[in-house]
Amino acid sequence: MARARLALRFLQVFLVYLNEKSRNYKFSQQEIEWLKQGSIREDEPARYINYFYDPVHKTGWTGKHFGYLSEEEDYKRGADKINNLRG
C-alpha cells in the first residue's frame, strides 16, 4: 500500500512539473484525476495480465500453461517429496 501511495505521489508531482514546463499543453484537474485512477486500477487483479503482451507475435498471455511444470520440474518435485517423507 505504501508503494501505491508513493507511485500516486510521484505521478502527481510529475504532472505538476509537466504543467509548469509545457508551453503547448496543460493537464486539467479532470485529466490528472483520470490518470491517478487509471494508475490505481492498473494494479487490480486480472488487469496486470495485460503486461504479458508479445508485440512480435501480437499475442497476449492466455494462461495456457499456468500452474503446469515441465516433466523435469515435476519429476524433481515428486522426488523431493518422496525424499522428505523418507526423512
Contacts of 39 (CB under 8 A, 6+ apart): 7, 8, 11
Q: In this structure, what DSSP letter does residue 59 have?
A: B
For the entire predicted model, the pTM comes to 0.51
Q: What is the pLDDT of residues 4-61, one digit of tens each?
A: 788 888 999 999 999 999 999 999 999 999 999 988 887 777 777 777 788 888 888 7
Nearest-CA neighbor of 3 among 46, 43, 55?
Answer: 43
Q: Which domain holds residue 32?
A: 2-86
Q: What total number of domains does the chain contain?
A: 1
